[in-house]
Structure 1
Amino acid sequence: MIFKKLCLEDKKKIDKYISPYKFLSCEYSFTSLFIWKEACDVQYSVYKNALILKKKDFDGNYYFMQPVGYTKENLGMIIEKLKVYRGKNDMKYLFKDLEESFIEELNVLLNGKNKFCIEEDRDNFDYLYEAKKLMTFSGKKLHSKKNHYNAFTKNYNYKVVEINDKRVINDVIFAAKKWYEETHEKDIKLYYEFLAIRDLVNNMSLLNLKGVAVYVDGKVAAFSIGESLSEKLAVIHIEKGDKNINGIYSFIAKTLIDKCFNNAEIINREQDLGIEGLRKSKMSYYPLKLEKKFTASIIF
C-alpha cells in the first residue's frame, strides 16, 4: 500500500469518494484535510476501491481515518491490510476520527469478538448548532451573545466585506500573521493555523469556500471562513478576531452565517482540541449536539 502526500490537485479525486456520504464530522471534507496537510502529514491511498486516509495527531501518532467507499463485503479485508501496515510501521492507533455509524458497522463485523479497544475522543468532538439560533441569538440562553453583538454594532465604526479580492486577502493574511506573532505562547498548532489561513484565502474559489472580513477603522478586526458540506450542513473552518474589541466574536459568528450560509440548518463549528478556553467558548453558544468521534486500538 503506497501513500501519497495530499495536495490541492487531489481535490477532484478525493471529492469523488467523500461527496456521496453525508458526514456530520468536519474531518471528512477535502478542505479540512487540505488545511492541516502539513501539521498532520495527511496522506492517502486507494485500496479495494476505497479511499484510505492516513494522518498524525498533534502528539505525533500516526493513524488511519475510517475508510471511505468500502463495502460490507470488503471492509474486513481492508481492516486486515491496515492492521498489517500498522504493525510494520509501529502506529499507536489503528483508527481515529471514527464516526459513530462506523463503530456500529465495526461491531457487526467483529461479531462480538473483542479485538479493538474503542474509546470516545472527547477533545475532538464536533460542535453542532442550530443555524437559525446563531443567526438570531434568540432565546434566553443566547441573550448575552445578543448583548455582545449589539455592543459591537453600537460602539464601532465597522464594515463587512466578503473575502474575494486580492486586497482583502492580503489584509486578512496580514492580520492573521500579526495576531500569531503577538501570542506569548508559541504553540505549534497556532503556527499551523496561520499557514492554514494563508492557504485557504489564497484558494477560496478552488475550495468552494465563503468568508467575510470585518474592518474596524480601516483595519481587519475579524474574519471567518466556511463551506457548505451539504444542503443542510455548513462547517466553519476558521474564526479569528481581535480580542481587544468588545463583541467582535459574537458579531463575526452571526454575520458569516447571515451572509454566506443562511440556507443551512446545522452549523458545525469544529472541535475544541481539549483547550479549556475554547471549550468554554463553544459551549457558551449552547450546541444542539456534540458529534462524537472515536479511536480504535488493537488489543493483543
Structure 2
Amino acid sequence: MEKLTIENYRELQPWIEAAGYEDCNANIVTMLMWQEPYPFYFEVYDHFALAYFKIKESGQIYWYMPFCEGSYRKEAIEAMLAYSREHGIPPRLSSVSRDWRDWLQDHYHGKILFHREWDGKDYIYDRRQQETLSGKKMQKRRNHYNAFLKQYGDRYEFHRLSPADFDDVLTFLKEWQDDHEDIFGIREEEAGIRFLMDHFEELGLEGGVITIDGKLEAFSIVSALTDHMLDIHVEKANRNIRGLYVAILKQYLETADPRYTLLNREDDMGLPALAKAKHDMRPIRIPLKYTARFEDWEIRPPREEEQTALRTLWLQSFADETPETADFYFTHLYDPADCRIITTKDTLIAMCMIPRWQMSVGGHVQTIRFLEGVAVAEGFRGCGYLHLLMRHLDQEFAQESMMLQAYDWDLYVPFGYAITHVGKRTVLSVPPKAADAGELIPAQAEDCAQLYTAFMQRFDGWRIRDVHYYTDFWLPYQKVCGAQSVQYVKDGQVLGYASVTEEAKTVTISEIIYADASTLQEMLGLLAQEGKTLCVISDADAPIEGSHQDIPLLMMKHPPQMSEHRWISECI
C-alpha cells in the first residue's frame, strides 16, 4: 500500500469518482486534509482500488469501502481479505454505507458483523433550500439572516475565497480557536486548513469570505464531492454576530455552480452543540454509516451458560423491566428451547423468545407462537439484526401463526405483522360511586380462572388460561410488578377481578374482568381514590365513562380465521 499524498492522489482520484460515494470520507480533499491524524494508504488494481486509513494515535487500521463498480465488489472484497491475511491487518471496514452493508450481509451471511457509527453520519441538505431560505422550515434561519442584514447590511461585503485572503483567514482562525478551546480535534483541523490553503488551486477548492467593516469575520472552504454534491469542509464565523453562519453559506451558494443540487456538511463528531446546529438546518437526509468486521456469527437456541448475558440484554432493552421482573421471567417462563439468539463465539448480539400459547379460535384450541423479548444489543442496533432475526423466524416457523405485543407497533409492519386485537384506555376524572357495592379482597387463582373463562366467551382469539396460569404466573407476576390483585365479592358471589397499580397521582387498572356492566361500575367506584386519576385498560366494549382512546393489544402474522369481535388481555 502507498501512502496518499498530494503528489500521488491523482492515481486514486479516478476510482473515487467512478465509485461516486456521497460520503465526505470518500472525498480526496477530506483524506488529504486529515492526513496527519488519519493517514490514508491505497493500492490500485485492474478493476478497483483499495484504501485503508490508520488512526495515528492508537495505531488501529480500518479499510474503506473499495472504490469500484458494482460488478467488481466481490473481487475487491476478496482482495482486501487476502491482503489483510498476508499483512496482519484486521479485516474490518469503516464508513460503510447502507447499500454496502446490505450487499455484504447478503454475500457474507454469517461471516460479517456491523456496528452503527453513531458519530459518523453525514448531514445532507437541499442546496436550493439553503440558498433561498424559502419555506416554513427555513423560517428560523431566515429570521437570523434578516437580523444580520438589518444590523450589518451596509457594513459587510462578501467575495469568493482566494489566496489573497489566507493571511486574514489564519488571523481569524486563531481568534475563533481561542473562543472554542474545548472542541475536539481543533489543532488537527488547523493543520488541515493550512494544507488546503497551500494546495488551494491544485485541488480545485473554492469558498467564501465575509468581511464587516473591512475585517474578516467568516469564511468557508468547499470542494465537489460528486457531480451533483458539494462538500463543506470548513465553515467558520464569529458566533457573536447573529445570522453570520447563515449568511456565509447563503452568499457562497448564490455564486456556486448551479449543477450542484446537494450539500454535504459532514459529520457532527459526536459534539452535541454541533449536532443540534446541523439538525436545526433541516437536513433532507442523514445517511447512516457502519463499521463492519469479518467474524462468524450464528442464530441458534442459547446455551445454559449464556443465560446471564440474556438477562443483562433483557434489562438493558426494556425500560419497564426491573431486576425483580427479569428474575421472575427467567425463573418461571424462560425455556432455552423457545429462545433464539444471534451470537458470535463471545458476543450476544440479539435475542427473542417464542413460547407457544394455547388460544381459543372459533371455539377450538389452537397453538400459536408468541414473539416477545425481541432485543438487539446497543452497539448493534440499526444494523439490520432485527431484520435477520425476523427473517430467520419466518423460515424456521414458516407453518406457524406468530403474534406479538410491541413498544413500537409500526416497527413490525414491514415484517408482515398487522394489528388484530384492540382495547381502550379510559381516564376517569370522576369515577362512579356505587351505593350498593360489595367489597374487594385478595384475588384467588381458582376464582380468577373461572371469571376469565366465562368473560372471554363473548370474544374470539383469546388466550386460554387455567388455574395453574394464575397460580404460577399471573398472581405472583402482578406482585413482582408492584401491582395488587383483587377480586370483587358481593352477596357471597365473586363477580370480577382486577390488577391495580397505585402511584402518587394515578391509579392504573391494567386488567379488569367483570360479570356485567353494573359490576364494572361498582368495582370502579371501589377502586377509585380521592384526589387520584383513575386510568383503566379494558376491552373496547367496556361501558366506562371518561376520556378514552383505542390502543393496540396484539399483532399477528399469518393469523387464523377469527370473528371481528376479538380481544386479549395480557400483562407482558
Please indicate, yes or no, whether the TM-score normalized by the shorter chain is above 0.5: yes
Q: Deviations over 1:91-113 (max 9, x none)?
A: 4x710011222223212321x3x
Q: Distance in 1 between matches of 2:161 and 2:77?
A: 45
Q: Name the CA distance, whole Å, in 2 between partners of 1:5 and 1:76.
A: 20
Select the residue among 250, 255, 258 that pairs with 1:254. 250
1: CA distance, partners of 2:63 / 2:272: 27
2:203 to 207, 222, 226: 207
Q: Is the 8 A contact 2:218 2:235 kept in 1?
A: yes
Superimposed CA distance per residue, residues 105-145 of structure 1 (whole angstroms, 9 cap, x where no aligned partner) = 212321x3x11111221311111111111011112221110
Helix, strand or coil for the counterpart of 1:161? strand
Q: What does residue 74 of structure 1 align with?
A: 75
Contact preservation (8 Å) 1:163, 1:201: no
Structure 1, unmatched stretches of 5+, are none
Q: 1:169 to 1:76 in 2, by over 3 A?
A: closer
For residues 234 and 56 of structure 1, what CA distance do their matches in structure 2 show? 26
Q: CA deviation at 1:186?
A: 6.6
Q: CA deviation at 1:147?
A: 0.9
Following TM superposition, by how much is the alpha carbon of 1:294 offset from its aligned partner in structure 2, in angstroms?
Answer: 1.1
Structure-1 separation of matches of 2:288 and 2:15: 22
1:221 aligns with 2:217: yes
- SS, match of residue 217 in structure 2: strand
Equivalence map 1:134-213=2 (5 Å): 134-156=130-152, 157-166=155-164, 168-185=165-182, 187=184, 189-213=185-209
**TM-score scaled by structure 1?**
0.89
Q: Give the distance between the partners of 1:133 and 1:85, measured in 2 at CA.
A: 49
Distance in 1 (alpha carbons) for counterparts of 2:113 and 2:124: 26
Counterpart amino acid of 2:134?
Answer: S
The partner residue of 2:25 within 24, 27, 39 is 27
Deviates more, 1:26-35 or 1:63-72: 63-72
Q: Is the 8 A contact 2:37 2:57 kept in 1?
A: no
Q: What is the rounded CA distance, in whole Å, between the counterparts of 2:245 and 2:56 in structure 1?
A: 26
Cα offset, 1:179, TM superposition: 1.9
Q: Which runs of 4+ in 1 moved over 4 A?
A: none
Distance 2:256 2:161 in 1: 11
Letter in 2 for 1:203: H
Tell me: CA distance 1:290–1:260, structure 2 relative to 1, closer, same or farther (3 Å).
Answer: same
Question: Residue 76 of structure 1 contacts residue 109 of structure 1 at CA under 8 Å; is this kept in 2?
Answer: no
Superposition deviation, residue 210 in structure 1: 1.2
- Are positions 1:280 and 2:281 aligned together? no
Q: Deviations over 1:30-77 (max 9, x none)?
A: 101110111212222335653222213587332111111271451342
Correspondence for 2:54: 56
Q: State whether residues 228 and 261 of structure 1, in contact with CA within 8 Å, keep that contact through their aligned partners in structure 2.
A: no
Q: Summarize the Cα distance change of 1:184–1:30 in structure 2 as closer, same or farther, 3 Å threshold.
A: closer
Question: How many aligned positions are there?
Answer: 291
Query: For the Cα contact (< 8 Å) 1:53–1:65, is it kept in 2?
Result: yes
| Residue pair 2:39, 2:56 contacting (<8 A) in 1 also | no
In structure 2, the partner of 1:264 is 260
Instruction: Verify the 8 A CA contact 1:233 1:267 in the aligned structure 2.
Output: yes
Amino acid at match of 1:66: M
Q: Work out whether residues 148 and 242 of structure 2, in 8 Å CA contact, stay in contact via their aligned partners in 1.
A: yes
Q: CA RMSD in A?
A: 2.1
Asked if residue 242 in structure 1 is aligned to residue 241 in structure 2, the reply is no
1-structure distance, mates of 2:253, 2:7 = 29
1:65 maps to 64
Letter paired with 2:173: A
2:548: which partner in 1? none
Letter paired with 2:180: T
Alignment partner, residue 84 of structure 1: 85
Structure 1 position 94 matched with structure 2 position 92: yes
The residue identity in structure 2 corresponding to 1:77 is E
- 1:119 and 2:120 correspond: no
- Measured in 1, the distance between the counterparts of 2:183 and 2:282 equals 30
Partner of 2:129: 133
Distance 1:263 1:215 in 2: 27
CA shift digits 1:246-276 (9 cap, x unpaired): 1111111212211224432111111111110
Q: Tell me: CA distance 1:265–1:271, structure 2 relative to 1, closer, same or farther (3 Å).
A: same
Q: Matched residue of 2:26: which SS?
A: coil
Which has more strand, going by share of residues?
A: 2
Higher mean C-alpha displacement, 236-245 vs 40-49 = 40-49
Question: 2:291 matched to 1:292?
Answer: no
SS in structure 2 of the partner of residue 80 of structure 1? helix
Structure 2: 5+ residue runs without aligned partners? 297-572
Cα distance in 1 between the residues matched to 2:81 and 2:13: 25
Which sits farther off after the overlay, 177-186 or 216-225?
177-186
- The structure that has the greater radius of gyration is 2
Given the superposition, is the C-alpha separation of residues 6 and 181 from structure 1 closer, same or farther in structure 2, using an over 3 Å criterion?
A: farther
The share of aligned pairs that are identical, in percent, is 25
Q: 1:252 to 1:85 in 2, by over 3 A?
A: farther
Counterpart pick for 1:42 among 33, 37, 40: 40
Q: Distance in 2 between matches of 1:204 and 1:169?
A: 10
Q: Is the 8 A contact 1:149 1:251 kept in 2?
A: yes
For 1:74 and 1:298, locate their aligned partners in 2 and report how far apart those are by CA, in whole Å.
16
Could you say if the C-alpha distance between residues 117 and 267 of structure 1 is closer, same or farther in structure 2, counting changes exceeding 3 Å?
same
Q: Deviations over 1:221-249 (max 9, x none)?
A: 11111122333211111111111111111
